[in-house]
Every structure is written in C-alpha cells, then in structure tokens.
Amino acid sequence: MGSTVAAALLLFLAAVPAVLAVTFQVGDIARWSIGVNYTTWVSRKTFRVGDTLEFKYGPSHSVSVVDKAGYDRCDGSGATQSFSDGDSKINLTTVGTMHFLCPTPGHCLGGMKLAVPVLASASSPIAPSPSPSAGNAKSAASAKGIMSYGKIGVTMVLMYGLMR
Ligand SMILES: [Cu+2]
C-alpha cells in the first residue's frame, strides 16, 4: 500500500514538468507559410520559458532568428540562427520577445514574421504571487472557519456533559 502511494507520488512528480512545458506548432494547421497572420496566432497563446516552438514548412521556406530591428525591417541579414530542415524546434530559454522571419525574398513582407513574448516559467519563483492583502483575507477567513468549528466542538462537549 505504502509503496503504491510512493510510486503514484513519483509518477505525479515526474509528470509535472511535462505538463508545464508546451510545444507550440507555429501557425497550427496553417504551419509556417505565407498568408498567415502570426500576430493573431501569438495573441491567443501564452509562451513561457521552457516551452518549444515547432516550425513546420515546405522547401521554399526557412526560419531565421533575428532581433527586433531585423523583424521590423524584414531584414534577415543579421540572423543569429537559421534553420531550413522543414521541421525546426526552437526552445524558449529566456524571458523577453523572440523574433523570427522567413529569409526567402518577399516572404517576410508576405507575413512570414513572428514576434513571441516569452514569460517566466510557471514554476519560477519570480512568477507573480497573489497580493499580500488577498493572502491575509484568505487566512482570516480560514481562521474564522476554524473558530466556528471550535465553537461547535465546545457546544457539543457541554451538551454531552449536561445529558449525563
Ligand atoms: Cu517563406
């Protein structure tokens, strides 16, 4: 019995990181191609450190990691990383905005540009915590609950004493 509980606990602990880290297929079923609004695609999602972007695309496309200036100008000449294997997985390792574009001439202007805001990982200690006042209100409420249980307990003991 004890070992079953321990095994279940281990399984749970092992499963947690897999649940927290997400792989996003860029563009979903539209993949990485011309004519997709990646600003809209990004706006519907939350990206965190530890997540992965997966770009899937045909042979006419590539993926370049650029800075904001390159993204704004559709200029891939300053790319820090480039991929053209058709299925590129890029880990989001730092907080901030990552910029991508397709360096094939005309494709970035055709919409193949992506700016992904990366937030701190959900398990990170720098993640926002509830405000102190909310925490106090919550503990006050639970203290009140404990007090009323205490009153019921005392009342029952007194009644038991009277009945004897
Ligand atoms: Cu392209």
**pLDDT tens for each residue of 29-76:** 999 999 999 999 999 999 999 999 999 999 999 999 999 999 999 999
Classify residue 41: in a domain, yes or no: yes
Same domain as 155, residue 114: no
Classify residue 124: in a domain, yes or no: no
Q: Which domain holds residue 145?
A: 130-164
d(CA 93, CA 111): 25
Domain count, the chain: 2
Classify residue 58: in a domain, yes or no: yes
Q: What is the CATH number of the domain that holds 61?
A: 2.60.40.420
**Distance of CA 56 from the midpoint of ligand 1 (Å):** 11
HEC readout, the chain: CHHHHHHHHHHHHHHHHHHHCCEEECCHHHCCCCCCCHHHHHHCCCEECCCEEEEECCCCCCEEEECHHHHHHCCCCCCCEEECCCEEEEECCCCEEEEEECCCCCCCCCCCEEEEEEECCCCCCCCCCCCHHHHHHHHHHHHHHHHHHHHHHHHHHHHHHHHC
**Distance of CA 147 from the midpoint of ligand 1 (Å):** 66
**Distance of CA 61 from the midpoint of ligand 1 (Å):** 4
Q: What is the pLDDT of residue 20?
A: 75
User: How many residues belong to the chain?
Assistant: 164
**pLDDT tens for each residue of 71-106:** 999 999 999 999 999 999 999 999 999 999 999 999
Classify residue 21: in a domain, yes or no: yes
CB-based neighbours (< 5 A) of ligand 1, an ion: 61, 102, 104, 107, 112
Same domain as 137, residue 58: no
d(CA 28, CA 54): 10
**Distance of CA 33 from the midpoint of ligand 1 (Å):** 6
Residue 26's closest CA among 13, 16, 40, 15? 40
Same domain as 137, residue 115: no
Same domain as 21, residue 92: yes
